Amino acid sequence: MRILKFLIEKEFKQMFRNPLIPKMIVMYPIMVLLVFPWAVSFEIKNIRIDVVDHSKSTYSRRLTDKIAASRYFILNDIPPDYRTAMWNMEQGETDMILEIPTSFDVDLVKNRASAVGMAVNSVNGTQGLLGSNYVTQIVNDFSSELRSELTHTLPAQSRASMMRMPRINIVPQYKFNPALDYKSFMIPGFMVLLLTIICGILPALNIVMEKETGTIHQINVTPVNRIGFILAKLIPFWVVGLVVMIISVSAAYLIYGLWPAGSVVAVLFSAIVFIFSISGLGIIISNYSENMQQASFLVMFFILILILLGGMFTPVSSMPGWAQAIASINPFNYLTKTFRMLYLNGSTLADVSGNLLMLALFSVVLNGWAVVSYKKRG
């Protein structure tokens, strides 16, 4: 498609001549990575936790000690059963309950994955979400600690089998970010926000600008087809989005020491899948706006929904049913989840494949809608 080359060339020229866009591309990541995380850093410390230890083993006690020693938790009580813990929670004496199953140590010894059941006080959703993330981190940490201990104390021939074990619920994670804090939790979310702005909103506003100046009219009387026009609009923003993403991932590492516990390739791959879906939404917005005023209104509306119902600040699980329903069709939510899993929980591409599948589905639906609703003829 030779026409596409000319159109993309035009878009890049205009992008770099725009008085705002190049500055935004530089300023946004800086704001988002350097300023915002501090501004919104309501880091939660001193979460009161009850540990229900059914296992009563050396391992479970060590885990409890680790939790008690962490600066995020205050060990409120070690009640004998779950009911007592619930009662404590109802009395407002504790914020969180961690339940360690009876088979915890047996499972560890038998080299099988173990499930640490967790109940989270949902009165304060953010606290619950962060708290369970902290616990996950500590459990992960503990697990890799055990693994290295066992590997060192065992003869070489059994090391091969050691590689699999012991796993507690989640793949042991690298200790790049042992001091888990609120910033590490928010930064993956801010990366999603950046992609949303660059690959969703900027192309939408760009197209509506062409409507306002009347240049799109001139394009419409030419043989340029709608897919060509839309693609030429999007490709430059996709490129910029990916570059900004790479810069952000690097900056997050250099500034905060934050690196995906899972694979960085998976992070970029998920970003790409997300980019397709969010630009589809951007095109739809532009198709339904005749001028910048209408477009700005729609953009505001969608940004609020995407972010507030996207699990960035408030966990989806603590939302009312209708909000959860919206979150379940919110691409922002799926990438935020995915990024946090990849960054904080050490998940693999396979673990997040469900989310990516949803994002791919959104891409198909949104882009199909975008192409159909693009009117070349009035």
Binding site residues, another protein, CB under 8 A:
2-3, 5-7, 9-10, 13-14, 17-18, 213-215, 217-225, 376-378
Asked if omega into 166 is within 30° of 0 (cis), the reply is yes
> Is 126 or 220 the residue whose CB approaches another protein more closely?
220
Residue 170 Cβ vs another protein, minimum distance, rounded to whole Å: 51
Q: Which is nearer to another protein, 62 or 376 (CB)?
A: 376
CB of 122 to another protein, least distance (A): 52
When the beta carbons of 158 and 213 are compared against another protein, the nearer one is 213
Question: Nearer Cβ to another protein, position 14 or 151?
Answer: 14
**Which positions ≥6 away from 271 have C-beta within 8 Å?**
191, 195, 241, 242, 245, 335
For the CB of residue 239, give the shortest distance to another protein in the complex, in Å: 19
318 C-beta neighbours (distance < 10 Å), count? 18
Least separation, in Å, of the C-beta of 219 and another protein? Answer: 8
* 220 or 296: CB nearest another protein: 220
| Residue 22 C-beta: closest distance to another protein, Å | 13
Q: How far is CA 168 from CA 106, 137, 366, in A?
A: 12, 11, 39
> Cα separation of 207 and 191, whole Å?
24
In one letter, which amino acid is 41? S
User: How near is the Cβ of 376 to another protein at its closest, in Å?
Assistant: 7
Cβ at position 204, least distance to another protein in Å = 18
Q: Which residue has the tokens 């990516």?
A: 356
Q: Going edge to edge, which strands form the sheet with 73-77?
A: 73-77, 47-53, 96-100, 117-120
- For 56, the 3-state DSSP assignment is coil
- Distances in whole angstroms, Cα of residue 120 to Cα of each of 48, 237, 315: 11, 40, 12
Q: With contact defined as beta carbons under 8 Å apart, do 239 and 272 qualify?
A: no
Provide the minimum distance between the beta carbon of 209 and another protein in the complex, in angstroms, as a whole number.
10
Nearer to another protein, 6 or 301 (CB): 6
In whole angstroms, the minimum distance from the beta carbon of 220 to another protein comes to 5
Closer residue to another protein (CB): 152 or 377: 377
Helix and strand totals (H; E) in the chain: 17, 4
Burial of 143 (0-12, 13-18, 19+ CB in 10 A): buried
Q: Which is nearer to another protein, 224 or 361 (CB)?
A: 224
With beta carbons less than 8 A apart as the criterion, state whether 256 and 183 touch: yes
320 vs 378, beta carbon nearer another protein: 378
Work out whether the CA dihedral 86, 91, 92, 93 comes out positive or negative: negative
SS3 48: strand
Beta-bridged to residue 73, according to DSSP, are 47
